[in-house]
Chains A and B, each alone.
Chain A
Amino acid sequence: MTDQRELLELLLEDARQSTADLARQTGHTEAEVEEAIADLEAAGVVHGYQAVVDWANADEEHVEAHVELNVELDRETKYDDIAGRIANHPEVETLRLVSGDYDFSAVVVGDSMRDVSGFVADRIAPIPEVTQTVTHFVMETYKDRGVDFGDDRDDDRLSVSP
């Protein structure tokens, strides 16, 4: 099958749906869908499949912070080198190089604010190339990866209509 975007959109919408259902929706055979997914994984387009979790509704402590990082480069040290040092920590859930007032944007998670702030202070700030960190704790999540947490999706349409 050739429509990579369609398959990616379907997986983004619900990665748990069966290949049989993906085949029915795309008009391809199951074998073609399986092969296409394998190709996407092999090519590094699809790196994994995860649930979108609203931690506010879970019986677990979970704190998330967005950390802005400024770094200083030298002849021997590149962004990729610094990124490797930061991304290796399991507390760092997401790490991106961004344009603008700071260099890296990291999402750091922990069981408590103390965990997260301690991690930033003890593990990230001391990295020699890191010149500044600004930590923003997430107070509430309204939407994550396209999923609106406030939308209860009530269907108030008439059950039968013209």
Chain B
Amino acid sequence: MKVADRARETPPSGIRKFFELAEEADDVISLGVGEPDFSAPWAAREAAIHALERGRTSYTANRGRADLRRGIADHVARYDHDYDPESEILVTAGASEAVDLAMRALVDPGDTVAVPQPSYISYGPAATFAGADVLPVPTRAEDAFELTIDALRDAGAGAADTLIFCYPNNPTGAVMDADALAPVAEFAREHDLTVIADEIYAALTYGGEHDSIATLPGMRGRTVVIGGFSKAYAMTGLRLGYALAPPEAIEAMNRIHQYTMLSAPTTAQFAGLEAIRSCDDAVAEMRDAYDRRRRYVLSRFREMGLDCFEAEGAFYVFPECPGDDEAFAEDLLTEEGVAVVPGSVFGEGGEGHLRVSYATGMDELREATARIERFLD
């Protein structure tokens, strides 16, 4: 059967290889997971159960249930976002769908999408599937993996049409505050870039409050903010996300959404609404647990002599490793049964690093770091 070029020519995710290796190995402690080790708060799960018991199994409005959109509008106000639930919020099947919709709705074939790297693995392919060219913009450990104006200029991002990034960042754990985002915003205005700001990890910011580029002067009208329930509420499998953007962008995204997804999963929407309404304390508990583990893992890596900048968001640290990162990760897996993801999988700038997730219990983290220490000796 004929397969379309864009599908055939998109390489499989580098993560796939490590997934397969880890699945084959015995007694593996995985620090390679990009999702919480907690379950969704019980109140949210109960809301989903009640929705099913009441037979709420039909489609919802394409944009998502009105009460959920109102809930999201109230929820994101904590980040100084102000969006109209009627026209500026779209509920999606996970943040990943929102990324895909933003690309397809706002990017024309032949456009250029600037992607700071290392980055979440889906941004490049999402741009490619939309027919755009990808322009990597390397970020560096010496800049704490923040996106700098120099990096944007050096990469020629001024000629791009769209910029997509994610802070707090997967895979580095880097965070950019308002001061750090200001020059990026200025660059975007100067070069008339559309910005897709993936803020799925906003609630998992440890050093201070989350800042959004969309709230900086002149940015709201050119930014799509993407959020979701997967990380903060441990609801990865329920597939619920959202996009916040000016009406014309939401309308365009919804046009694609209504022909493809129709609407986000109904059961998940009930769970999501309850999560927003009543699960702040549960989120705070999970964030505190991640924060303790973050400090533990950073401390252990530094004791071992692995250079690691102070990751302040998401649930990853991104230490440097001796030698080739792919070989290091593969040997660590086969010799000590610890799965981590080599940084080069996430693009330019990731080489020589490892993505280590601490969304794992303390017992596992103790054992995994002990094994890494033994491996390094």
Chain A residues close to B by CB (< 8 Å): 6, 9-10, 13-14, 17, 21, 23-27, 153, 155, 157-162
| Chain B 315-333 interface 0/1 with A at a Cβ cutoff of 8 Å (1 = within) | 0000000000000000000
Q: Which residues of A contact B288 (CB under 8 A)?
A: 6, 9
- Given B19, B28, B292, which contacts A161 in the complex, CB threshold below 8 Å? B19
- Given B33, B170, B292, B293, which contacts A157 in the complex, CB threshold below 8 Å? B33
With the chains together, A24 CA to B303 CA distance in Å? 11
- Contact across chains for B295 and A27 when beta carbons are under 8 A apart: yes
Q: With A17-B362, A25-B293 known to touch, is A159 a contact of B299 (CB < 8 Å)?
A: no
- Contact across chains for B34 and A26 when beta carbons are under 8 A apart: no
- Contact across chains for B37 and A155 when beta carbons are under 8 A apart: yes
- Contact across chains for A159 and B366 when beta carbons are under 8 A apart: no
Cβ of B265 within 8 Å of any chain A Cβ, yes or no, is no
- Contact across chains for A157 and B295 when beta carbons are under 8 A apart: no
Q: Which residues of B contact A6 (CB under 8 A)?
A: 288, 292
- Given A24, A155, A158, which contacts B295 in the complex, CB threshold below 8 Å? A24
With the chains together, A161 CA to B236 CA distance in Å? 11
- Contact across chains for A162 and B22 when beta carbons are under 8 A apart: no
Which residue of chain B is the closest to A23 with respect to CB atoms? B299
Cβ of B250 within 8 Å of any chain A Cβ, yes or no, is no
Q: With A157-B33, A157-B37 known to touch, is A162 a contact of B295 (CB < 8 Å)?
A: no
- Contact across chains for A162 and B122 when beta carbons are under 8 A apart: yes
Q: Which residues of B contact A23 (CB under 8 A)?
A: 299
Q: Classify chain B's interface size.
A: 20 to 34
CB distance from A47 to the nearest CB of B (A): 24
Q: With A21-B366, A162-B13, A162-B121 known to touch, is A157 a contact of B35 (CB < 8 Å)?
A: yes
Cβ of B15 within 8 Å of any chain A Cβ, yes or no, is yes
Cβ of B154 within 8 Å of any chain A Cβ, yes or no, is no
- Given A153, A159, A162, which contacts B30 in the complex, CB threshold below 8 Å? A159
- Contact across chains for A161 and B296 when beta carbons are under 8 A apart: no
Extra contacts besides A21-B362, A157-B35, A161-B32 (11): CB < 8 Å: A21-B296, A157-B37, A158-B33, A159-B19, A159-B22, A160-B15, A160-B339, A161-B15, A161-B33, A162-B15, A162-B170
Q: Pick 23 A–B contacts, CB within 8 A, sort by A.
A: A21-B362, A21-B366, A24-B295, A24-B300, A25-B292, A25-B296, A26-B292, A153-B361, A157-B30, A157-B33, A157-B35, A158-B19, A158-B33, A159-B19, A159-B28, A159-B339, A160-B22, A160-B30, A160-B339, A161-B33, A161-B34, A161-B35, A162-B34
